[in-house]
Structure 1
Amino acid sequence: MEHGPDNAALWLYELGEYQLCELAGDGHAEHASMLCNDDARPPQDLWLLWTGEDEPRKTRIAELPACPAAINRGRTNAWHCILFAEHPAVHSWEISDPLGDLIKQQAKEEAYRRFDQPDQDPD
């Protein structure tokens, strides 16, 4: 991968042992977490894939093409699926991320607190 790490195994070790699966729901053969993306054309991303919940897990690192799906959000705005091509389950825009939502809400509250503004949703 042109813009990826030189030594993927060492880089993965430095990330630590915890990765969150980016796929929705259960019942898929492998879990997947994007390690890095590449702006190549066609886009290729580096993914960590693993099976099993308990040790020892079977893991692999794979360079996979990006999912081509996108939905229009107005005339000039589109949301692109950030998963890999032919991924199981739904596209990324249909996946809820409770942890991400909590972090976003806490960051918003902290910003309002720091700037001494009432807590109101700017959306």
Structure 2
Amino acid sequence: QPPRLTKGISKAELDYIRDGGGLVDGDAPVKKEARQPLTAKDWKLVFHRKLIGVYLGQFAVTSTLWFFLTWFPNYLTQEKGITALKAGFMTSVPFLAAFVGVLLSGWVADLLVRKGFSLG
């Protein structure tokens, strides 16, 4: 039950909880404000060139992750007849390669910055 309904709590205690960011009226109806429509400036930000790169990169990473987490192990066990233990080891290979790739890409990025290439 919310603090407001607790017996023996004083107004000063409720104010102290409220001032600290606590919810004392957890059961009160929520006031919903109308959503503000996106402006042209907002849409310009959504379609910014660098953000489109982020969207595509995130799509590629997520798609690859789910491929190797879900479809690939099933394919190895059901279609290729590999045991689940071997399939588990084989499924870990892309993740280990990605780990090495992340480390190498960080090293290459640092090297390029030291040589004077721009971050932007």
Q: TM-score range by the shorter chain?
A: under 0.3
Higher CA-based Rg: 2
Q: Tell me: higher relative CO, structure 1 or 2? Use CA pairs within 8 A at least 6 residues apart.
A: 1
Larger relative strand fraction:
1
Query: When the two structures are superposed, what TM-score results if normalisation uses the length of structure 1?
Result: 0.24
Whose helix fraction is larger, Structure 1's or Structure 2's? Answer: 2
